[in-house]
Each structure stands twice: as C-alpha cells, then as structure tokens.
Structure 1
Amino acid sequence: MSAEAKPLSGLRVLVPRGGTWGNLVSKALREQGAQTVIAPLVDFAHTSEEDKLVQALKELEEGRFDWLTATSSTVADVLQHHNAVIHPDTKVAVVGEATAVAFRDAGYPITRTPHEDNNTTHALLEEWPEIDSGEVLRVLTLRSDVATPVLTTGLLSRGHDVTPVLAFRTVGVPASVHIREDIESGRINALLVASPKIAMEVAEQFPNLPETTILACVGVNAHETAVSLGLPLEADDSSHPLHKQKQAVVDTVESVIDQSDTLD
C-alpha cells in the first residue's frame, strides 16, 4: 500500500504517553501512514499507598498470593523499581499487549491473557476458568489511582480474597513550548485522547485548538470526560469531513491496546 493510499496519510498525531505503550501505538499509527510525535501529557508517580504496596510485594515474594493481575504496562515498571520477585507458585494474569510486552521485557512470567481478538479486562473475567472453579483464590490486583476497579469488583463478586493496591499515581505533564506551538498552528493535526486524565490535560493545556484538529478518544471513559469538559468533538458526526480519519485513528490504536489502563 502506498503512503498516499494509507488511511492516516497526512496526519501528524500526538501520542500522549511514552514507554512501551507509546512505542506500540506510534508504530501502529505509522504503519497506517501517520507521522507521530510522542509527547507524554501524563506520567506516573509514587503511590499514596506505599506502605501497603511494600507489604503486598513482600507477600508476593513469599508466595501468599495465588494470582497477580495487571492491566497497565506501568505495573511492570513499579515491580522493577521495587526489585519485586514473583513467587514461582504465583500465576500472573495481564490485559493489553503493552502490558504483556512490558512484563516479558522485565522477565516476569505471564500465565493468562485474554484472546488477542478481544484483549480487554472484561474478556479476561470471561476467559479465566480458575476464578469460576469454586476454589477461593487469593489475588493481588495492582492498578493506578485513576483506574476503575473492574477486575477487583469482578473477583470479589465471585467470592475471592482480593487485595487491591494502588501501585502508582497518574499525574499531568506540561507539554513543551514547541509542542504547544505545533498544536496551536495545526502542524500537529490529531491528538490521541486515551484516558480521562489525558482528556483533562488536553482541555487545560490546549484551550485554543484549530477547528481542523482531530481529537480521537479511545474508550468510553475518555470520550465521556472529553464531552463533559467541552472539548471539540465535531468529527464524531459521521457527516463531518474528518470523521473517517478520526475513526481510523481510533481503530488503529484499539488494534494494539485496550483502554485497560483506565481499568484495573
């Protein structure tokens, strides 16, 4: 397929997260013809539950958990930062390609992931036979402070012994002057809004977006937050001339990641 024929040709897309997530998303967008600029609008800080996390990681090393779950690649960074050891008897369930790549790169084993065609948190709950075996499992769920506790809630509803821990906090990062100028001038003409927190940062940092800028929201939570903040989402209308490209951005991103970083 020539560059001219690719669906995202002509777009210069801001990818608002770095690391494994940003690299996977950027690669997928470039393969569809886009130019990408990785410029994190969010980063991750130490948890407000540091003592609880340290205790949980000690118990993880001792083998007191049957399972560990993660839906964010950042969890692998947290484990490495703490030199965490996963006991050989503890199984690991992860959601999302970026999460799986980060765990494997860090040398941590993975026991279960959802099917690649539906690599979502809800799918994991449906495809995880051990949690419906009747045995009460002890599970450590590690997530962000802004995550919706989907796995935690699902496991608790099945009667399991769940220890939920906020492994990290999500904080905003100011864009550089160069990035702001490129967005305000339209040189960056598409912004990827991949979480509610990113929507908040876009609304605060870029109040004067050009009318031709595409805001591509990935996931219901990100979209609802963008709407509540009054972000310009005209391209959601199928009759809008930019709708086709916007949908192509969303489809491309969702082909490699799930909005699971805003879940647990």
Structure 2
Amino acid sequence: MSDQAKLLGGLRVLVPRGGIWGDLVSQALRDRGAQTVIAPLVDFSHTSEEDKLVEALKALESGEFDWMTATSATVADVLKHHNAEFHERTKVAIVGEATAVAFREAGYPVTLTPDEDNNTTFQLLKEWNEIDSGEVLRVLTLRSDVATPVLTMGLIERGHDVTQVLAFRTIGVPASVHIREDIDSGRINAILVASAKIAEEVRKQFPKLPENTLVVCVGENTLAAAEELELSRNGIDRQAEVDAIIEAVESAIDHSDMLD
C-alpha cells in the first residue's frame, strides 16, 4: 500500500463539482484510498452576454476566427447547447484534462493542448508558437464570469485581435440536507475547495465546520480567497493529508478553468 493510500485510507472527501471534473477528481482520490462524496456546491448557468455569444458563434461557424480557446469543460456544454459548428480553417486551443475529455466526447476538434505533465494556461502560452510569429490572429476566447483572464490577457498583450465572451456564469448550489448533516456531524472529513467561488459557498453554507474537518484548497488564487474569508485551515498537524489530497487532485485535473 502506498504512503498516500495509508494517509487517505477511509477519509471521506467532499468533491464540490460534478460532471467530468468531479468524476476525474473522485477517481484520483479513490485510487489513493479516500472515499468521495460528489456534492456540487457550484453549477453553471446561462451567460449575461447571450447576444454577444450567439453572434460570436455565428462568426466561428463562418470562419472569421483563426483560433478559439477553452479552458473549461463547460465550454463544450455551451457549444453543444447552441449547436455550434467549427469552420475548417479555425483551430482550437484548450487547457485541462476535463476540457479535453469534454471536447472529445462532443466530437469537437482540438488542435493544441499543452503537454499532459504541465497542462496549464501558462504552459499553453509558452507552447503556442503561432501567437509569437508576428502575425495578428483573430481569437475567440470563451470563459466563465469568475475566471481570471490569464489566457485572454496573454493574447491581447501580444497584439492579437481577441473577442472575449463570457460563455457561462458560475452560481452557487445549496447542499442537500443529507450533505449538511454529514458535514455538521464530521462524517465528511475533508472538503475540497477548488475555486474562489467554491470557497464562498463553503463559508456561506457551512459556517460552523467541525474542528477536525480539513479544508483543502487547490491553487494559489483559491487559497488567497479562502484566507480572506478566514476559511483556510488544515486541522491539527494534518498537513501530510492535505498535501496528499492536493497531489491527487492535481494529478487528475488542472485548475486552469479559473484562469481563462
């Protein structure tokens, strides 16, 4: 049995997102001995820029963009919802394993994605040779309303013609009575926090966490948000368990969907 399996054996971890993301993260944690409870605390809703999105997707279909980017699996859902089609001249750059799975399952093309060992937004900017060729590219970036526009700004700073559209909104989802009871009683031993929005929901929905409940933050932006909410705490002398959970999550998924 591995050291991580020993550390996480029997630990019940709340995974706060569903879909492909939740499945990949849960599997990685279970592979290391943890028990997982998928209980979405956030979900995705229609964008506040619906008209702009519709016009952008029409332009995408007609071939007006050289590239389109996506760093969230939810973008594939948005594209399917709108029956979007890609022009053959348009290339697609994506970040994240969950995004790749979603695009493959939807039958959408993927031209460029970073190496799986470093599948991050920052790595995409390094590996994307065309954006440093001197040619001005027309790029459509589809992102969440709560995402930090790292990729979008990286393209703009290089002088490209970027159309950025908020493709979806991230909204809070109330936990079920059963989940709240499991949290309050300590039957759930750890809560995974993978974005600033999730941190907000954990603070709001579970204001009195048991002392021994681990709050495990993945990503620097998430940790900063959790600390501002006075949410970040690791229990008593349990950093090894926290590190093992973070390693498991990061082995399965990139949190760049908060860095669009």
Q: Superposition RMSD on alpha carbons, in Å? A: 1.3
SS in structure 2 of the partner of residue 191 of structure 1: strand
Deviations 1:195-214 (A, max 9, x none): 00000000000011111111
Aligned residues: 260
Could you tell me whether the CA contact under 8 Å between 2:76 and 2:106 is conserved in 1?
yes
- Where does 1:144-223 land on structure 2 (aligned, <5 Å)? 144-223=144-223
Which residue, out of 244, 252, 255, partners 1:248? 244
| 2:253 is aligned with 1:257 | yes
Distance 1:146-1:37 versus aligned 2 partners, 3 A rule:
same
Once the 2 structures are TM-superposed, how far is the Cα of residue 6 of structure 1 from its aligned partner?
3.6
Higher mean alpha-carbon deviation, 249-258 vs 73-82, is at 249-258
Distance 1:70-1:5 versus aligned 2 partners, 3 A rule:
closer
- State the alpha-carbon separation in 2 of the partners of residues 139 and 28 from structure 1: 34
Once the 2 structures are TM-superposed, how far is the Cα of residue 232 of structure 1 from its aligned partner?
4.5
Could you tell me whether the CA contact under 8 Å between 1:70 and 1:93 is conserved in 2?
yes
SS in structure 1 of the partner of residue 8 of structure 2: coil
- State the alpha-carbon separation in 2 of the partners of residues 187 and 41 from structure 1: 18
> 1:141 maps to what in 2?
141
Once the 2 structures are TM-superposed, how far is the Cα of residue 241 of structure 1 from its aligned partner?
2.3
- State the alpha-carbon separation in 2 of the partners of residues 157 and 118 from structure 1: 23
Distance 1:153-1:4 versus aligned 2 partners, 3 A rule:
closer
SS in structure 2 of the partner of residue 110 of structure 1: coil
SS in structure 1 of the partner of residue 237 of structure 2: coil
The percent of aligned pairs where both chains have the same amino acid is: 72
- State the alpha-carbon separation in 2 of the partners of residues 136 and 2 from structure 1: 50
- State the alpha-carbon separation in 2 of the partners of residues 31 and 5 from structure 1: 8
- State the alpha-carbon separation in 2 of the partners of residues 166 and 63 from structure 1: 20
SS in structure 1 of the partner of residue 7 of structure 2: coil
| 2:223 is aligned with 1:227 | no
SS in structure 2 of the partner of residue 7 of structure 1: helix
In structure 1, give the amino acid aligned to 2:77.
Answer: D
- State the alpha-carbon separation in 2 of the partners of residues 81 and 133 from structure 1: 34
Distance 1:134-1:24 versus aligned 2 partners, 3 A rule:
same
SS in structure 1 of the partner of residue 17 of structure 2: coil
> 2:107 maps to what in 1?
107
- State the alpha-carbon separation in 2 of the partners of residues 232 and 155 from structure 1: 33
SS in structure 1 of the partner of residue 112 of structure 2: coil
| 2:12 is aligned with 1:34 | no
- State the alpha-carbon separation in 2 of the partners of residues 3 and 194 from structure 1: 24
- Where does 1:87-106 land on structure 2 (aligned, <5 Å)? 87-106=87-106
Q: Which structure 2 residue ranges, 5 or more long, are not aligned?
A: none
Once the 2 structures are TM-superposed, how far is the Cα of residue 170 of structure 1 from its aligned partner?
0.2
- TM-score, normalization by structure 2: 0.97
- State the alpha-carbon separation in 2 of the partners of residues 44 and 124 from structure 1: 25
Distance 1:22-1:4 versus aligned 2 partners, 3 A rule:
closer
Once the 2 structures are TM-superposed, how far is the Cα of residue 247 of structure 1 from its aligned partner?
0.7
- State the alpha-carbon separation in 1 of the partners of residues 195 and 19 from structure 2: 16
- Where does 1:58-97 land on structure 2 (aligned, <5 Å)? 58-97=58-97
> 2:20 maps to what in 1?
20
- TM-score, normalization by structure 1: 0.96
In structure 2, give the amino acid aligned to 1:251.
Answer: E
Distance 1:206-1:129 versus aligned 2 partners, 3 A rule:
same
> 2:55 maps to what in 1?
55
- State the alpha-carbon separation in 2 of the partners of residues 33 and 234 from structure 1: 19
SS in structure 2 of the partner of residue 147 of structure 1: coil
